[in-house]
Amino acid sequence: MDSDVTISTDRARLDVALVHEYLSKNAYWALGRERHVVEQSIAASLNFGIYERRGAMLGYARVVSDFATVYYLADVFVIPARRRQGLGRRLIEYVATHPELRSLTGILITKDAADLYRPFGFQDMQTIDRVALLRRGISKNASDSRRPEP
């Protein structure tokens, strides 16, 4: 594990350009995400950046929460050049043990990194007797004739 890294929730330290670049071009769940959407998501979230001693950002995660019962973990990444060094594990441990989150139920969706999260209490969800539903938002620029009149 790299002892020359720090993790911070200071939004001012975030390299927003890096977060946008990575998410919009590399993250299967956020391909094409526009810069203003990334900025808005950062503004409305508890953000975690992992940094090398000189200050360069190496990874990111954000949490959306009511800070009473549940949080949703999203947009987790470590830059490709620094993967396989334990940084993702360190970042998730920091999130899972953060004082504002450690007593809350955490939710995340992943299709390729479940083994990263399991050591920190995340478990596969059983949906045998329940239905998980997803509503995707409609672009603010798109018109939808199916939308009901106000």
pLDDT, tens digit, 9 for 90 and up, residues 99-119:
999 899 888 888 888 888 888
Q: Are 69 and 105 in contact (CB under 8 A)?
A: yes
Q: What pLDDT is recorded for position 116? A: 85
Query: Residue 150 falls within a domain, yes or no?
Result: no
Query: Residue 49 falls within a domain, yes or no?
Result: yes
CA distances from 131 to 4, 9, 23, 72, 128 (A): 44, 34, 28, 18, 8
pTM: 0.82
Query: Residue 127 falls within a domain, yes or no?
Result: no
Q: What pLDDT is recorded for position 71? A: 93
CATH number at residue 22: 3.40.630.30
Q: What pLDDT is recorded for position 128? A: 54
pLDDT digits (tens, 9 = 90+) for 13-34: 999 999 999 999 999 999 999 9
DSSP 87: H
**What torsion do the CA atoms of 99, 102, 104, 109 make, to the nearest 10 degrees?**
120
Query: Residue 73 falls within a domain, yes or no?
Result: yes
Query: Residue 54 falls within a domain, yes or no?
Result: yes
Domain count, the chain: 1
Specify burial of residue 123 (Cβ count, 10 A radius: 0-12, 13-18, 19+). exposed
Query: Residue 43 falls within a domain, yes or no?
Result: yes
Per-residue pLDDT tens digits of the chain, which is 150 residues long: 456 899 999 999 999 999 999 999 999 999 999 999 999 999 999 999 999 988 899 999 999 999 999 999 999 999 999 999 899 999 999 999 999 998 998 888 888 888 888 888 888 876 555 565 555 666 666 554 444 455
Tokens linked to 107: 């939710």
Q: What pLDDT is recorded for position 145? A: 47
Q: Find the domain containing 18 and state its range.
A: 5-120
Query: Residue 107 falls within a domain, yes or no?
Result: yes
Query: Residue 132 falls within a domain, yes or no?
Result: no
